Amino acid sequence: MNEEAMCFTCHSSLRWPWPRSPSLLLVVMVSRDVGLRVGLEGVQTSMCSRTGSPMEESNLGQDGDIVLEAQSVPVIIDGDASRSAMILSRTLGPLFIPMISYLASCPCLSDRQQYPNFFRTIPSDINQAKVMARLAIRFNWTWIGAVLSDNDYGRLAIQVFEEEIRESGVCVAFSEILSRETIEEDAIRVANTIQHSTARVILIFTWYTDVAELFLQLAKINVTDRQFLASEAWSTATDLLHNVALSKVASGVLGVAIRSAASIPLCSGRETLEGVEKRFTDTSHLRAAYNAYLAVYVAAHGLHSLLSCPDEGSAPTDNSSTCSSPYNITPKELLEHLNKVNFTTPHGEKFFFEGADIPAVYDLVNWKSTPDGSLAMFTIGRLVGSDLHLNESAIQWSTGSTQVPISVCSESCPPGTRKAIKKGEPVCCFDCIPCTDGEVSNETGSHQCRRCPVEFWSNPGHTACIPRKVDFLSFNETMGIVLTTAAVSGAVVTAAVFIVFLHYRHTPVVRANNSELSFLLLLSLKLCFLCALVFIGRPSVWSCRLQQAAFGISFVLCVSCLQVKTIVVLAAFRSARPGAGGLMKWFGTGQQRGSVCFYTCIQVIICTIWLSLSPPVPYRDLGFQGSKVNLECAMSSVVGFAVVLGYIGFLACLCLLLAFLARKLPDNFNEAKFITFSMLIFCAVWVAFVPAYISSPGKYSVAVEIFAILASSYGLLLCIFAPKCFIILLKPERNTKKHLMGR
């Protein structure tokens, strides 16, 4: 058929509107061991002449071939395989004889250093491997099996395919070889591999006879759900297409095919080919023959360019030449002109060479099932250069539907997770690991999770960053309610004790050891309970300042009262000794009030200086990793807080020491021993407070401080006033001066 197409093209070329064309024609010779040779002859020796006259007998060989003189063969058209094209090109290279092939597709022939005289009208195999890779990426097939021929055709194809998919997350599940010498055993082995593989898309680069044997073995084991990608070597093989036994396996094949012509205008004139109904008179469905058709046109245009004379008076151009004689053409001259060939075919296709190659043009074909159960091939797209045009809705897949089949090693990771490559597995085999807190992934198949900005946190699904909630110890939460209840209860109990003492203020228990200090102590304890409430709620500039000032002053007032009480007890018993009668005059009521005011004023001065120079301020703690931002009062000056706390500790330790010394003084109601016990509790609480406060995060540090305030306040209230209230309310008979002075 290719020879008939060449003859048809020869006739067509005669009708081409060559400007000022000399009377020369192409001579075509078909030879199985040499190839198709196109020579230049005169009208008298042409195979396809303008007049249609027969060839002279002197130009016919014994087998009917055209015999030409060596010097009359300026170009050769070869239709054989790549290997013979390589041999022929190397043989003709030193003679500068151009060679045009329409079937040799080996990428190696693109090397102009080794094959400077080679041209072809079929794209290099590199291009169809690239098309296969683009299809795999387009349809998200990340797990593909490959079946290859045991030669350069298969090995180069898979090499190019793997290079194209390397950065796209596509992997080759397996790569099996079909050898023609052991095709039956290989087909059985490959069929079993396909059956047990999780890959649902199989790429096949081999000859159609090998594919037929493979499909036969797949049909025997009922593997009919695989999607096959066909190379041009078998994508248009009618033997496979019309084989009913293979129709279930071959249904849905998607393949790359040598391009076909949409339509070619038939010759008109003296050739009278218009009315001839032959295969080669319509190349709209011919593929290899269409490449042969183009090869003849390339040779004709090269010769035309070489023999054309420039117009008179026109400026010389790169393509212009002096008139060459049709009978004195050198192959080297023709080779130069073939490199510059650029024309439009009769049906509007632009044609030119890029080195030895032409821009890639392929048809994309699909094998569809017909109502009668057979298969038919349909063109569903075309690749032109780098532009891929594909009608996806027209594709019938191996499943019989228009739903794109899925072929993956691992399902795509949903949003909120990331890929984690399995050890020792290809990159497309992975586990999906949930993003950690504070990280998100909002795309399917993310390789890594993205950390949220500092003021944002991940939502529960780890798919988006949401603003972090402001967190502080509020009155509405459980911990805030408990602490508030404890603080208010302490204040109420203190107020109740105050009322009891006020009611029984004239009794000996109340009047003992300066009742005025007892009332002042109750007032300071109430302030201690109430100052805990200032720590609860949303921190503000004023609340942060008031917290530490109220805490520091209230506790100094409380401890000062206890210390003065202890000093009064010591002074009272020492004044009973001979010669110490004037000791109490230095510890009268006025001195006691003055001492309390003095100790308290020192704390007031410390707090004033601290809050004036570097007060606590509201601070959003973003360093704590979580869905919440801690809003707290930050200590701008830790030294100031340490001095306030240290002064309270100093007074407490001094009071504890004095009370400890006075604990065994003779008295039925020696208040010093209760002060000793209360100060032990007080010191223990605040010693434990320091490490607990430092190690507690966020609002829990505030809760620790409130707990310390309440615990120490309750300790003082119960240790000092509970025994007195017990006597006043439950043992009134002991609330007498006689009983108190009994010892």
User: What pLDDT, on the 0 to 100 scale, is given for residue 214?
Assistant: 94
Q: Is 503 exposed, middle or buried (0-12, 13-18, 19+ CB in 10 A)?
A: exposed
pLDDT band at residue 314 using 50, 70 and 90 as cut-offs: very low
Which candidate, 590, 724, 569, places its Cα nearest to that of 658?
569
Query: What's the average model confidence in pLDDT over 563-587?
Result: 66
- Tell me, yes or no, if the pTM score tops 0.75: no
Query: What's the average model confidence in pLDDT over 407-427?
Result: 88
Helix (H) or strand (E) holding 457: strand 456-458
Query: What's the average model confidence in pLDDT over 513-529?
Result: 86
Tens of pLDDT, residue by residue over 489-518, are: 999 999 999 999 888 888 887 877 677 888
pLDDT band at residue 572 using 50, 70 and 90 as cut-offs: low
Tens of pLDDT, residue by residue over 539-548, are: 888 888 888 8
User: What pLDDT, on the 0 to 100 scale, is given for residue 268?
Assistant: 47
1-5, 166-170, 387-391: least confidently modelled range: 1-5
- What distance in Å separates the CA atoms of residue 262 and residue 242, rounded to the nearest whole number? 24
User: What pLDDT, on the 0 to 100 scale, is given for residue 46?
Assistant: 33
Report whether 352 contacts 342 (CB < 8 A): yes
User: What pLDDT, on the 0 to 100 scale, is given for residue 90?
Assistant: 83
Is the per-residue pLDDT at 197 higher than 90? yes
- What distance in Å separates the CA atoms of residue 298 and residue 351, rounded to the nearest whole number? 9
User: What pLDDT, on the 0 to 100 scale, is given for residue 587?
Assistant: 64
Report whether 29 contacts 66 (CB < 8 A): yes
pLDDT band at residue 79 using 50, 70 and 90 as cut-offs: low
Is the per-residue pLDDT at 43 higher than 80? no
Query: What's the average model confidence in pLDDT over 8-16?
Result: 50
User: What pLDDT, on the 0 to 100 scale, is given for residue 16?
Assistant: 47
Is the per-residue pLDDT at 575 higher than 50? yes
Record the tokens describing residue 299, joined without a space. Answer: 């040779």
Is the per-residue pLDDT at 145 higher than 90? yes
Is the per-residue pLDDT at 445 higher than 80? yes
Which candidate, 132, 24, 36, 127, places its Cα nearest to that of 80?
36
Mean of the per-residue pLDDT values for the chain? 79
Record the tokens describing residue 277, joined without a space. Answer: 């109904």
Choose between 96 and 449: higher pLDDT: 449
Give the distance, in angstroms, between the CA of residue 127 and the centroid of all CA atoms in the same chain: 30
Is the per-residue pLDDT at 133 higher than 90? yes
673-702 burial code (b ≥16 CB/10 A, e <16): bbbbbbbbbbbebbeebeeebeeeebbebb
Query: What's the average model confidence in pLDDT over 658-678?
Result: 72
Report whether 630 contacts 623 (CB < 8 A): no
Q: Dihedral of the CA atoms 305, 308, 312, 315 (nearest 10)?
A: 20
- What distance in Å separates the CA atoms of residue 431 and residue 412, rounded to the nearest whole number? 9
185-194, 255-264, 304-313: least confidently modelled range: 304-313
Is the per-residue pLDDT at 463 higher than 80? yes
Is the per-residue pLDDT at 550 higher than 70? yes
Helix (H) or strand (E) holding 597: helix 589-613
Residue in the block written with tokens 């190397």? 90
Residue in the block written with tokens 């035309």? 304
Tens of pLDDT, residue by residue over 247-271, are: 899 999 999 998 876 544 444 445 4
Is the per-residue pLDDT at 229 higher than 90? yes
Choose between 21 and 137: higher pLDDT: 137
Is the per-residue pLDDT at 216 higher than 90? yes
pLDDT band at residue 416 using 50, 70 and 90 as cut-offs: very high
238-260 burial code (b ≥16 CB/10 A, e <16): eebbebeebbbbbbbbbbbbbbb
Choose between 610 and 288: higher pLDDT: 610
